[in-house]
Amino acid sequence: MQTTIKILTLTFFLFIIGIFYLSLNKEKSYNTKSLVGKKLDKIILERFDGNDFLDVEELKKNDFTLINFWASWCGPCRLEHSTLMILNKTSKLKLVGINFKDKQVNAKNFLKELGNPYHFIAKDEYGKISINFGVYGIPESILINKELVILNKYIGPLKDEDYSQIIKTIN
Amino acid sequence: MKIRIIFLIIIFVFNNLLASEKSLDINQIYKNLRCLVCQGQSISDSNSDFAQTIKLVVKDLIKEGKSENEIYSFMADKYGDWIVYKPQFSKQNFILWIFPYIVLVGGALIIFHFIRRKKG
């Protein structure tokens, strides 16, 4: 009996230590990168300056699509814009911009000033569309493939290493 | 007479069931959703931009006829289990759910064994 209790106690402590070890080595900052590998839901996007619509299913025509969430009032969006302009020149990649809680006139001025890298711009006046993509702040970008599977999620402005990773993925 | 009473009871039970299904407590749903961009606040407590948007989406989902659990599943699907204060039973967290019961049963067995030994 004594031995059983000793084994049980030891197992219990090892279990507790194991839990602590796993939890302490876990990444603390919250992000939605768990969406990587999931397929996009069926969503219809509305063009931000017209009555045109884009069914997300249509993105299957592209080899790769980068869905970028941006707004004219967002400072970091300004920072990443030059990266998007370069990515626009990549033939295998199409860029879809989702204008997040923005005024159309301000968004147009923003693109006039910095250039328009997008092949399609959708509007998300109240931010509700972005919830379907697991967005909780902008800028955020989602790289998807032909099967509409999320290959990567970039939270915050696109950095040089993100650019390199995108190029590596699509080639 | 008996048939009438049974009939009335059935109507009463069905009415209650339907009423409980229809009356979704939206504030309860807000309270069970975590504001991801706030410090320890629920969607109900927060006035952040993110919380306001989630509230709009929850209202839309209710209008679409989604149940409370379907709303939680939708949110967990987009933001992970972290957004729900009470995560749903899944492969990843089953130990968390089952462990207290294992400890309870294990503890009871040990106590039972000790008592039996003492008596013996």
pLDDT at B114 over 80: yes
Q: How far is CA A3 from the centre of its chain?
A: 54
Q: Cβ(A97)–Cβ(A121) under 8 Å? A: yes
- The larger pLDDT score, comparing residue A159 to residue B10, is at A159
Put simply, the answer to whether B53 touches A127 (Cβ < 8 Å) is: yes
Give A100-151 pLDDT, tens digit per residue.
999 999 999 999 999 999 999 999 999 999 999 999 889 999 999 999 999 9
> Which residues of A make CB contacts under 8 Å with B?
1, 5, 8, 30, 32, 34-35, 101, 126-128, 130-134, 136-137
pLDDT at B3 over 80: no
Q: How far apart are the first and last CA of chain A?
A: 64
Which of A136, A138, A150, A153 best probes binding to B when mutated, by most B CB atoms within 10 angstroms?
A136
Give A46-101 pLDDT, tens digit per residue.
998 878 899 999 999 999 999 999 999 999 999 999 999 999 999 999 999 999 99
Question: Reduced to 3 states, what is the DSSP secondary structure of residue A77?
Answer: helix
From the CB of residue A6, how many other CB atoms can be counted at a distance below 10 Å?
Answer: 10
Q: How confident is the model at residue B89 (pLDDT cuts 50, 70, 90)?
A: confident
Amino acid of residue A124 = D
Tokens 């462990």 sit on residue: B99
Q: Give percent of chain B above pLDDT 70.
A: 88
Put simply, the answer to whether A1 touches B56 (Cβ < 8 Å) is: no
- The larger pLDDT score, comparing residue A77 to residue B92, is at A77
- Structural domains in chain A, sorted by start: 34-170 (3.40.30.10)
Torsion sign over Cα B36, A100, A82, A161: positive
